[in-house]
Amino acid sequence: MNNFNTGQIRNIGLFGHGGVGKTSLVEAMLFNTGVINRLGRVEDGTTVADYHPEEAQRQSTVHTSLVPVEAGEAKLNFLDTPGFSDFIGEVKGALRVVDSGLFVFSAVDGVQVQHELIWRFALNNSLPRIVFVNKMDRENASFTKLMDGLNDKFNGNFVPVNFPVGEGLDFKGIVDVLNEKAYQYDDNGQPKEMAVPGELQDQLSEYREKLIEAAAEGDDDLTMKYLEGEELTPEEIRTGLQKSIATGKAVPVLCGSATKNMAITDLTGFLAAYPPAPQCQDGGSMAALVFKTLADPYVGRMNFLRVFSGTLKSDTAVYNPNREKAERIGQILFVRGKQSEPTTQVSCGDMAIVVKLAETSSGDTLCDKDDKNRLDSIDFPAPNYTVAIAPKSKNDEDKLGDAVQKLLEEDPSLRVEKNTETKQTLLTGMGEAHVNIMISNLKRRFGVDVLMEEPKVPYRESIRGKTEVEGKHKKQSGGRGQYGHVWIRFESSEGDFEFKEEVFGGAVPRNYFPAVEKGLREAMAEGVLAGYPTVGIKATLYDGSYHSVDSSEMAFKIAASLAFKKAVPQSKPVLLEPIMNVEVAVPDEFMGDIIGDFNTKRGRVLGTDQVEEGTVVKAQVPLAEMFKYANDLKSMTQGRGQFNMEFSSYEEVPANLTEKIIQKAKDEAEK
């Protein structure tokens, strides 16, 4: 792979719903430019972009892959991204480092859920967009319906640059609006000019006028010339359209078939000429952003990066301001899927891989150590689908920590935590498929077998009543005995725990007060009802007795613990559960379903807010009802809903559920 200067580079994200043909599109471009001598198939797991085992198994993209295509004097750095919501973190990483987005649509299926979601992200990032309508050769394909769908779903000026000659099984080629010519294609994807069908002449005239108008809008001088009725030259149309695309005033639309390799050469040529080049200069201090990390078992840590300023060179010292650590740049690789070639430098705007960095992960900046220029990081989504994992064997347990750490380095949309209360390791991802693949990776890549379990709810216990009880620990077995004796008043409290003493006359010596408090705290760590921590208690030591020889701190600790265990059943004990603040953003038509579902989950709807994309429903819902909510929300909203949640408070569990929870806890304890 050659080195290209900044002006020759185009960084393009491939975005769209799963199954629209993004990977097949890149495959056709590689074939047409001579990189590969046969077209691979997603179904066979033989494409350049989808080279991970889990992608071959799923027959869909899971990881964003960097696939450069050299088209004449241009280098097109394609980032082929997943099309399913579970892997939206990969999309977010790509969005941060590309200069334009190629949105791929199926002419059969039209605008789909992930198109809407990613389009909104791109719009918020002011990212120039281009549309490719794929699968024009499939039965029921319709370019007109797809255009109608674009105009209905998105607020954009969609401008056809070419359009189909025939559709579905009658798809023969395309009409080039820019050059007013028509083309058909041979088996190798090469164009052959043909006459523009007479019935398409009016459509060509309509689209050409729309294209010229879009070009004129890109430049004030061209706008004046167009309004004055003067004809724009081909060069003026080209430069005007480039500016309109870069500013988002126009969204060009092209069409074809990736698997039949029809009109892909036209798309490649357009992408080499019209989307914006990186806005940076080769001179000045170096700054690069890592957008993806892979832990390769043979190569080591691989950091995918894009250079935003200066030139990245091998065998140099750099600085990571995110970690406040120095790094040494060793080997740099240009990659195309899993194929790689070493290089000594990466120009401003280009993308590459750096291997074996010690500290650097996704979202981190690498910069000159004398000019600590920290770039904006990546807005990775918060994971929201949780399962518990447990190692199958002692050997798995020993290896689990290191394996999980490597997965976390690779995927910032993954979270792993050890819950000290439930004694479970919780794995949280973006959805069921995401979590399942991570568990599969633990086994395949790191040899760690884990069992998947239901997460346990970290309940609490408390009391609502008030009682006074005696706790006495007395033991005599030859030699020095043990004696501790307390009277303690227990009542509910707003805080977690409050300890007071009202002892008069030295009934319990002051030096034993800390032992009493410690005994209570230790007893509260494992409650009486179901073994959950106890909170919301005020304990007042008001009387007791001691023995001048046999009393000790340990004896008073035990006495306090006995008092606690006696008091709780007499003090209207209750079970408390964590309540979460939940916000769900959905299109308006799903608002009623969301509210109704929260009612079935014992939730309280607090209100709704109108936003540009629809409605945000705010509610408080028990955590016990939310572990699988990511799946529920997808089902209710056809994948169009998003949610986040955070802890709010603990509240009393309804009486009809308390006994079931207590019995389940006792059964597990017996096991």
Residue with tokens 């039965």: 139
Nearest to 639 by CA among 433, 455, 407, 428: 433
Nearest to 157 by CA among 135, 182, 128, 179: 128
* DSSP-derived pairing of the beta strands 173-176 and 162-165: antiparallel
Q: For 393-421, write each residue's pLDDT tens digit.
A: 999 999 999 999 989 988 999 999 998 88
Q: Which two tokens stand for residue 537?
A: 């208690």
The pLDDT confidence band at residue 297, using thresholds 50, 70 and 90, is confident
Phi, psi dihedrals of residue 337, rounded to the nearest 5°: 65, -125
Please calculate the CA angle 58-60-64 and round it to the nearest 5 degrees. 120
The alpha carbon dihedral of 53, 56, 61, 67 has a sign of: positive
Q: For 362-397, write each residue's pLDDT tens digit.
A: 999 999 988 888 999 999 988 989 999 999 999 999
Cβ-based neighbour number of residue 187 at 10 Å: 7
Q: Which two tokens stand for residue 107?
A: 């002419």
* DSSP-derived pairing of the beta strands 460-463 and 415-419: unpaired
The 3-class secondary structure across 532-552, one letter per residue, is: CCECCEEEEEEEEECCCCCEC
Rg of the chain over Cα atoms, rounded to whole angstroms, equals: 33
The superfamily CATH assigns to domain 385-453 is: Elongation Factor G (Translational Gtpase), domain 3 (3.30.70.870)
Distance CA 523, CA 521 (A): 5
**3-state secondary structure at position 81:** coil
Distance CA 251, CA 201 (A): 22
Distance CA 285, CA 410 (A): 27
Q: From residue 260, give the alpha-carbon distance in Å to each of 37, 477, 649.
A: 15, 92, 58
Are the C-beta atoms of residues 161 and 177 closer than 8 Å to each other?
Answer: yes
pLDDT of 306 strictly over 70:
yes
E-state strands within 91-172: 100-106, 129-134, 158-160, 162-165
Q: For 571-628, write each residue's pLDDT tens digit.
A: 999 999 999 999 999 999 999 999 999 999 999 999 999 988 889 999 999 999 998 8
Distance CA 442, CA 616 (A): 37
For domain 575-658, give the CATH number. Answer: 3.30.70.240
The residue count for the chain: 671
Instruction: Report the run of H or E that residue 144 belongs to, with start and end.
Output: helix 143-153
287-367: CATH topology? Elongation Factor Tu (Ef-tu); domain 3 (2.40.30)
What would the mean pLDDT of 247-252 be, rounded to a whole number? 97
For domain 6-212+249-273, give the CATH number. Answer: 3.40.50.300
Q: For 55-113, write each residue's pLDDT tens digit.
A: 888 889 989 999 999 999 999 999 999 999 999 999 999 999 999 999 999 999 999 99
pLDDT of 341 strictly over 90:
yes
What would the mean pLDDT of 151-157 be, rounded to a whole number? 93
Predicted pLDDT of residue 478: 66
pLDDT of 296 strictly over 90:
no
Q: From residue 63, give the alpha-carbon distance in Å to each of 67, 499, 639.
A: 12, 55, 20
For domain 461-571, give the CATH number. Answer: 3.30.230.10
Distance CA 652, CA 572 (A): 12
Are the C-beta atoms of residues 328 and 321 closer than 8 Å to each other?
Answer: no
Indicate the residue type of 411: D
Q: For 21-53, write each residue's pLDDT tens digit.
A: 999 999 999 999 999 999 999 988 899 999 888
Are the C-beta atoms of residues 326 and 295 closer than 8 Å to each other?
Answer: no
The ranges assigned to domains in the chain are 6-212+249-273, 287-367, 385-453, 461-571, 575-658
pLDDT of 350 strictly over 80:
yes
Distance CA 255, CA 241 (A): 18
What percentage of the chain reaches a pLDDT higher than 70? 99
Q: Count, in order, helices (H) and strands (E) of the chain.
A: 16, 34
Residue with tokens 């909203």: 637
* DSSP-derived pairing of the beta strands 424-429 and 415-419: antiparallel
Average pLDDT, the chain: 93
pLDDT of 1 strictly over 80:
no
Are the C-beta atoms of residues 509 and 582 closer than 8 Å to each other?
Answer: no
Predicted pLDDT of residue 57: 85
Helix, strand and coil in the chain, % to nearest 5: 35, 30, 35
Instruction: Report the run of H or E that residue 270 belongs to, with start and end.
Output: helix 264-273
pLDDT of 299 strictly over 70:
yes
CATH topology agreement for domains 385-453 and 461-571: no
Phi, psi dihedrals of residue 655, rounded to the nearest 5°: -60, -35
Cβ-based neighbour number of residue 229 at 10 Å: 6
Q: Which residues pair with 71 in a beta bridge?
A: 74
Q: For 165-219, write each residue's pLDDT tens digit.
A: 999 999 999 999 999 999 999 988 999 999 999 999 999 999 999 999 999 999 9
Are the C-beta atoms of residues 604 and 620 closer than 8 Å to each other?
Answer: yes
The pLDDT confidence band at residue 562, using thresholds 50, 70 and 90, is very high
Higher-pLDDT residue of 299 and 425 is: 425
